[in-house]
């Protein structure tokens, strides 16, 4: 009795599974029907304005006042709403944003900015130098507690001789001054005077000056922006921007596949494997890759022996196969670097080459440093102590995988490595701040200015500062100090080229890779520069357009 | 009975203080604070500014002093303001002098999570009670076996995996349901009827998937409760006096078999506000689970404490309600309480 019943159940389930599989397969094959409007996706269209661009991000901004927010979600939105005095052009050279010109005094201490005339905030009030002075006062105010205050605290004196002139004087020449002003978004004084920037409702309902203005921010769902007709830089082509908040990357990708969003950042697997294997996605998505301003590295705690020995550091550098990490972890979507600057920019020294993968050289250097395998267990020893250390990293899949590949390569030269992955806040406060680590795998995201004083200068080693690996080199100290005082770009370039060379030779960190930023944009969006200029694919997003026939049903997005 | 309830409510006060004290200390056991988040690991952000933030939030004070400050605010039911969201109120909205309203974080997240979980609980109960009864009536029969199999397959399938598959199948391949979010982008411009339709379409997957995976527990409870009851003498009596099987099952057996469910529902009250981090992340729903998880990662202490306090208060209330409901439903218990 029981046996017949269970066979019945089993065959029923088998039947159900087959039906389900058949259903899935048939529905998959019929999916191209739903995208029948794709036929003219690749036609040529003249630029026209209108339409809505929908993108997505994983986090929600904490505030739309970027001087206190700090996270990328916030700057992704505010960069459409606010202008700075200066900005970077598509070749990453500084040009005026709100200002028409600026002048540096002969002693290099005073900078005079001239605002463009007749600028308006989105509420039709004029933009004047008083707004700029107000913004400077706000960012340096103790109560604001802006993480970026230090750049602006160097300004000794700021004055506004007339409504279009803003004049600042530094104690001594500050080379990163222009870069810092390109990063400070100017806020409207008439809206914010006397308010606490942390509690003001302006941070959720801002008035700006850029191409777009914020219409609606629905918590946890989306931010909607529409064209600012008073934009100081003229009109953008696309009428409306909608940014949806979708925390999960896979869900975002499903939305992209279903045509519900137009643009998203990709990881290497989606870029190199998933999209190329699906013709319908390849047809409707354009893929872009560009070098980002960040790199992954393995850093030694230079206060812990044997990492105080440059031969050991070099040996480990030779023993790690960086190309293997780029191919295995980033699916080839990264490059090998030899200096802490974005390759192809002025600051990156083209004469430097990365340490090649050379295990024999590594073994020789380790031997020279006194490491030999005395007991024949495959692990090197010095003074009877086996060479063994722990790599720590935060919970980041790519960094964890890189650490595993490093572990294997170091094992081959006789070094025993263990790996520990730790949640971010604990990682920083328990290990990095206390200096209680041997080796870290981490990344640096860098600005466009070459000054890296905070990371490499020997004075920056206190707990909470950024030279946590304890790097100390008097030549580098001197170069970094010089670089901060030198405003002439060509002289500065020489200084930082030399700095990168000393750094490479000292090998306090092993550069693992600089990954590409990967983006997919729906083919309905036209006017995108290819190949991307150094400033990236989004540099001219105000010039992007969506031709009428390719737009979504506008009713569905308003 | 009233005495009993009052006594239980008064007991909740010291218990809540104890719970909050332990929570507060455990929360501070995890290394790091709000100034250690990933965005602040930026060479442009100086340690001095982080130190200043620590002072603003009193994080430089000893933990017991911080707890005192927190308790002092809690006495007047002030849950404080979030560190991470730049002073957004944790619990309920505040109004500034110009009449601008800033909504509270829990105020925004709680209704969403409650709606999803209540709908989910309703679906679970509606499905699991009949399934449990069928399984018990046909104990060891093919109905019982297929129900058990179905339940355990549902229980074992990882919810996020099933979610992604169904999102792909129903949202991308067939475009029958929206993939993520709570509303369409044009929600504001819809009429009431379309708004309701839109909301239900968005809620379908987030509500149905957890209900399927949650079915197993309650079905088993109902089935075992039924099996117990069906072996009681009074059921034999009922059958012996010639009642039809329908009446035996639904009038005599079921009411007694469902008693343990009261406890389960009472215990699930705190879960109703908890929300699931994974489901909320996948479906882009700004609910309580995501709020709590993010707050923990950011070390946003006022938010963590706010949610823990409300959660523990609701747990205590849920227990009390379950006990009271039990006493109301079961005379045997009632006599015990009165004594």
- The pLDDT tens digits of the residues spanning B279-292 come to 888 888 888 888 88
A15-41 core/surface letters (b: 16 or more CB in 10 A; e: else) = eeeeeeeeeeeeeeeebeeebeebeeb
Give the pLDDT score at A24.
44
Contact A147 B85 (CB under 8 A): no
Cα–Cα distance for residue pair A138/A204, rounded to 1 Å: 18
> Would the ipTM clear 0.90, i.e. be above it?
no
Contact A415, A387 (CB under 8 A): yes
Residue B220 backbone zone (phi > 0: left; psi -120 to 50: alpha; other: beta):
alpha
SS3 for A146? coil
Residues 11-50 of B with CB under 8 A from A: 30-33, 36-50
Average pLDDT score over residue span A414-436:
90
Distance in Å, alpha carbon of A255 to nearest chain B alpha carbon = 7
Token reading at B69: 């400050």
Q: Nearest-CA neighbor of A92 among A301, A325, A290, A249?
A: A290
DSSP A414: T
Q: Nearest-CA neighbor of A305 among A371, A404, A376?
A: A371
Give the pLDDT score at B333.
75
Tell me: cis bond preceding A18? Omega within 30 of 0 counts: no
- Token pair 């005077």 is found at A193
Per the model's pLDDT, the better-predicted residue between A336 and A46 turns out to be A336
User: pLDDT tens digits for A331-389?
Assistant: 999 999 999 998 888 899 999 999 999 999 999 999 999 999 988 888 999 988 999 99
DSSP A126: B
Q: Nearest-CA neighbor of B70 among B111, B116, B23?
A: B23
The span from the first CA to the last CA of chain A, in angstroms, equals: 63
Q: Nearest-CA neighbor of A210 among A240, A182, A231?
A: A231
Q: Measure CB to CB from residue A201 to each of B45, B102, B172 and give the nearest one.
A: B102
SS3 for A516? strand
Measured between CB atoms, does B179 come within 8 Å of chain A? yes
Distance in Å, alpha carbon of B79 to nearest chain A alpha carbon = 16
Alpha helices in A463-525 (DSSP H): 474-485, 489-506
Whether residue A80 is predicted with pLDDT greater than 90 in this model: the reply is yes
Give the pLDDT score at A360.
95
Helix%, strand%, coil% for chain A, nearest 5: 35, 20, 40
Q: How confident is the model at residue B48 (pLDDT cuts 50, 70, 90)?
A: confident
Average pLDDT score over residue span A501-512:
95
For helices B159-166 and A249-257, the axis angle rounded to 10 degrees is 10
Listed in sequence order, the residues at least 6 apart from A319 whose beta carbon sits closer than 8 Å to its beta carbon are A357, A359, A362, A409, A410, A412, A413, A415
Cα–Cα distance for residue pair B114/B107, rounded to 1 Å: 11
Contact B179 A428 (CB under 8 A): no
- H/E element, A165: strand A165-170
Contact B41 A428 (CB under 8 A): yes
Give the pLDDT score at A556.
59
Cα–Cα distance for residue pair B23/B3, rounded to 1 Å: 30
Measured between CB atoms, does B167 come within 8 Å of chain A? yes
Average pLDDT score over residue span A465-479:
93
Parallel, antiparallel or unpaired: strands A509-522 and B101-102? unpaired
> DSSP labels for A61-108?
-S-S-HHHH-SHHHHHHHTTT--BSEEE-TTS-EEESSEEEEEE-TTS
User: pLDDT tens digits for A1-10?
Assistant: 344 444 444 4
- Separation in Å, CA A513 to CA A165, A320, A427: 44, 12, 22
Token reading at A548: 């009428």
pTM > 0.80: yes or no: yes
Most confident of A231-240, A295-304, B40-49, B203-212: A295-304
Whether residue A516 is predicted with pLDDT greater than 70 in this model: the reply is yes
- Separation in Å, CA B306 to CA B82, B92, B284: 10, 11, 22
**Nearest-5° Cα angle at A27, A22 to A31:** 155
Whether residue A13 is predicted with pLDDT greater than 70 in this model: the reply is no
Contact A558 B175 (CB under 8 A): no
Per the model's pLDDT, the better-predicted residue between B269 and A296 turns out to be A296
User: pLDDT tens digits for A149-159?
Assistant: 888 999 999 99
Give the pLDDT score at A166.
95
- Token pair 């975002």 is found at A252
**Measured torsion, CA atoms of residues B242, B244, B248, B249, in degrees rounded to the nearest 10:** 160
Size of interface A-B (CB pairs under 8 A): 188
- Token pair 């009109």 is found at A235
Average pLDDT score over residue span A120-145:
92
Give the pLDDT score at A12.
46
Average pLDDT value for chain A? 88
Token reading at B21: 């004290």
Contact B199, B182 (CB under 8 A): yes
Token reading at A28: 């998959």
SS3 for A269? helix
Token reading at A323: 């190309």
Listed in sequence order, the residues at least 6 apart from A139 whose beta carbon sits closer than 8 Å to its beta carbon are A67, A146, A148, A149, A152, A184
Instruction: For the domain covering A294-515, report its CATH number.
Output: 3.10.105.10
Contact B43 A466 (CB under 8 A): yes
Half-sphere exposure of B25 (CA within 13 A, CB side): 6
On chain B, the residues whose CB falls within 8 A of the CB of A148 are 44-45, 49
User: pLDDT tens digits for A171-221?
Assistant: 999 999 999 999 999 999 999 998 888 888 898 889 999 999 999 998 888
> DSSP labels for A284-345?
HEEEEEEE-SEEEEEEE-TTSTTTTSHHHHHHHHHHS-HHHHHHHHSTT-EE--SSSS-TTS
Measured between CB atoms, does B191 come within 8 Å of chain A? no
Cα–Cα distance for residue pair B273/A248, rounded to 1 Å: 21
Cα–Cα distance for residue pair A246/B155, rounded to 1 Å: 27
Contact B84, B37 (CB under 8 A): yes
Cα–Cα distance for residue pair B37/A426, rounded to 1 Å: 10
Whether residue A28 is predicted with pLDDT greater than 50 in this model: the reply is no
- Percent of chain A past pLDDT 70, that is, above it, reads 92
Measured between CB atoms, does B95 come within 8 Å of chain A? no
Whether residue B220 is predicted with pLDDT greater than 60 in this model: the reply is yes
> DSSP labels for B61-110?
S-HHHHHHHHHHHHHTT---B-TTTTS-BSSS-EE-TT--EE--HHHHHH
Measured between CB atoms, does B224 come within 8 Å of chain A? no
On chain B, the residues whose CB falls within 8 A of the CB of A9 are 142, 145-146, 149
Residues 293-322 of B with CB under 8 A from A: 297-299
DSSP A493: H
Token reading at A318: 């030779």
Cα–Cα distance for residue pair B56/B251, rounded to 1 Å: 64
On chain A, the residues whose CB falls within 8 A of the CB of B164 are 250-251, 254
- Percent of chain B past pLDDT 70, that is, above it, reads 98
In terms of Cβ atoms closer than 10 Å to its own Cβ (0-12, 13-18, 19+), residue B186 is middle
On chain B, the residues whose CB falls within 8 A of the CB of A445 are 42
Q: How confident is the model at residue A246 (pLDDT cuts 50, 70, 90)?
A: very high
Contact B284 A246 (CB under 8 A): yes
Whether residue A406 is predicted with pLDDT greater than 80 in this model: the reply is yes
Q: How confident is the model at residue A38 (pLDDT cuts 50, 70, 90)?
A: low
Q: Which residues pair with A87 in a beta bridge?
A: A95
Q: Which residues pair with A125 in a beta bridge?
A: none
**Considering only A94-98, A125-129, A399-403, B171-175, which range has the smallest mean pLDDT?**
B171-175
**Considering only A28-32, B64-68, B219-223, which range has the smallest mean pLDDT?**
A28-32
SS3 for A485? helix
Q: Nearest-CA neighbor of A296 among A429, A397, A402?
A: A402
Give the pLDDT score at A557.
58
Q: Nearest-CA neighbor of B304 among B96, B101, B29?
A: B29
> DSSP labels for A332-392?
T-EE--SSSS-TTSTTS-TT--PPP--HHHHHHHHHHTT-B-SSSSSS-EETTEE-EEEEE
In terms of Cβ atoms closer than 10 Å to its own Cβ (0-12, 13-18, 19+), residue A58 is middle
Give the pLDDT score at A29.
40
Contact A247 B87 (CB under 8 A): no
- Separation in Å, CA A417 to CA A69, A135, A329, A407, A426: 38, 50, 19, 5, 21
Parallel, antiparallel or unpaired: strands B94-95 and B101-102? antiparallel
């Amino acid at each position: 009795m029981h046996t017949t019943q269970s066979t019945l159940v089993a065959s029923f389930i088998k039947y159900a599974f087959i039906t389900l599989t058949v259903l899935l397969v048939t529905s998959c094959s019929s999916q191209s029907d739903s995208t029948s409007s794709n036929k003219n996706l690749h036609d040529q269209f003249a630029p026209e304005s209108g339409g809505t661009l929908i993108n997505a991000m994983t986090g929600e901004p904490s505030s739309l006042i970027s001087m206190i927010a700090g996270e990328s979600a916030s700057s992704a939105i505010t960069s459409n709403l606010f202008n700075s005095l200066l900005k970077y052009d598509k070749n990453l050279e500084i040009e005026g944003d709100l200002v028409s010109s600026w002048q540096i005094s002969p002693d290099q201490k005073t900078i005079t900015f001239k605002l463009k005339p007749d600028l308006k905030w989105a509420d039709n009030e004029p933009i004047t130098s008083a707004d700029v002075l107000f913004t400077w006062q706000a960012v340096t105010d103790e109560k604001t507690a802006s993480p970026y205050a230090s750049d602006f605290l160097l300004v000794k004196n700021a004055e506004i001789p007339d409504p279009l002139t803003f004049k600042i004087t530094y104690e001594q020449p500050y080379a990163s001054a222009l870069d810092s002003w390109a990063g400070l978004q100017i806020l409207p004084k008439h809206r914010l005077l006397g308010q606490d920037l942390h509690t003001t409702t302006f941070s959720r309902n801002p008035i700006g000056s850029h191409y777009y203005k914020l219409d609606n921010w629905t918590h946890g769902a989306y931010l909607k922006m529409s064209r600012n007709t008073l934009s100081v830089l003229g009109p953008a082509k696309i009428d409306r921007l909608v940014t949806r908040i979708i925390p999960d990357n896979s869900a975002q990708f499903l939305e992209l596949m279903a045509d519900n969003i137009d643009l998203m950042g990709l990881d290497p697997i989606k870029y190199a494997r998933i999209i190329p294997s699906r013709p319908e996605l390849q047809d409707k998505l354009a893929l872009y890759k560009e070098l980002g301003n960040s790199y992954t590295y393995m850093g030694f705690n230079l206060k812990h022996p044997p990492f105080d020995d440059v031969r050991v550091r070099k040996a480990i550098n030779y023993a790690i196969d960086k190309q293997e990490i780029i191919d295995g972890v980033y699916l080839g979507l990264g490059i090998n670097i030899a200096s802490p600057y974005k390759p192809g920019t002025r600051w990156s020294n083209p004469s430097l080459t990365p340490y090649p993968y050379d295990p024999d050289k590594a073994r020789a250097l380790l031997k020279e440093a006194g490491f030999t395998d005395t007991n024949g267990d495959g692990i090197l020893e010095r003074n009877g102590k086996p060479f063994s250390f722990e790599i720590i990293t935060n919970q980041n899949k790519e960094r964890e995988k890189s650490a595993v590949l490093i572990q294997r390569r170091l094992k081959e030269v006789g070094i025993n490595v263990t790996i520990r992955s730790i949640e971010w806040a604990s990682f920083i406060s328990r290990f990095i701040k206390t200096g209680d680590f041997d080796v870290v795998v981490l990344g640096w995201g860098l600005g466009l200015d070459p000054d890296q004083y905070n990371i490499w200068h020997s004075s920056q080693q206190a707990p909470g500062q950024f030279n946590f690996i304890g790097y100390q080199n008097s030549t580098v100290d001197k170069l970094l100090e010089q670089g901060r005082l030198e405003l002439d770009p060509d002289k500065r370039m020489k200084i930082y080229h030399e700095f990168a060379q000393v750094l490479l030779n000292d090998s306090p960190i092993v550069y693992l890779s600089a990954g590409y930023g990967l983006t997919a944009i729906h083919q309905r969006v036209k006017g995108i520069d290819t190949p991307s200029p150094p400033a990236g694919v989004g540099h001219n997003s105000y010039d992007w357009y969506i031709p009428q026939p390719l737009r979504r049903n506008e009713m569905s997005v308003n | 009975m009233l005495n009993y309830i009052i006594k239980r409510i008064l007991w909740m006060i010291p218990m809540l203080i104890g719970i909050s004290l332990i929570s507060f200390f455990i929360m501070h056991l995890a290394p790091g604070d709000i100034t250690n988040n990933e965005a602040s690991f930026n060479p442009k952000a100086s340690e001095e500014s982080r130190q200043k933030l620590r002072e603003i939030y009193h994080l430089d004070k000893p933990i017991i002093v911080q707890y005192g400050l927190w308790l002092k605010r809690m006495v007047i039911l002030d849950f404080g303001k979030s560190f991470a969201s730049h002073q957004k109120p944790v619990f309920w909205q505040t109004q500034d002098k110009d009449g601008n309203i800033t909504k509270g974080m829990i105020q925004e997240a709680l209704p969403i999570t409650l709606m999803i979980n209540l709908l989910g609980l309703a679906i679970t109960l509606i499905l699991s009670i009949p399934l449990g009864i069928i399984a018990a009536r046909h104990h060891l029969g093919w109905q019982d076996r297929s129900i058990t199999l179905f339940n355990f397959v549902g229980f074992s399938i990882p919810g996020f995996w099933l979610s992604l598959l169904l999102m792909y199948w129903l949202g991308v391949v067939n475009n029958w349901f929206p993939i993520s979010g709570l509303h369409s982008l044009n929600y504001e411009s819809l009429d009431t009827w379309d708004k309701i339709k839109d909301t239900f379409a968005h809620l379908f997957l987030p509500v149905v998937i957890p209900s399927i995976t949650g079915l197993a527990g309650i079905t088993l409870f109902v089935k075992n409760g039924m099996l117990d009851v069906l072996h009681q003498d009074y059921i034999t009596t009922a059958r012996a006096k010639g009642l039809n099987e329908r009446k035996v099952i639904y009038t005599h057996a079921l009411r007694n078999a469902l008693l343990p469910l009261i406890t389960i529902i009472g215990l699930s009250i705190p879960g109703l506000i908890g929300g699931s981090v994974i489901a909320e992340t996948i479906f882009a729903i700004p609910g309580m689970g995501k709020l709590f998880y993010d707050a923990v990662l950011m070390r946003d202490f006022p938010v963590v404490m706010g949610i823990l306090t409300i959660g523990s208060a609701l747990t205590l209330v849920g227990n009390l309600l379950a006990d009271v409901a039990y006493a109301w439903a079961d005379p045997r218990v009632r006599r015990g309480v009165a004594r």
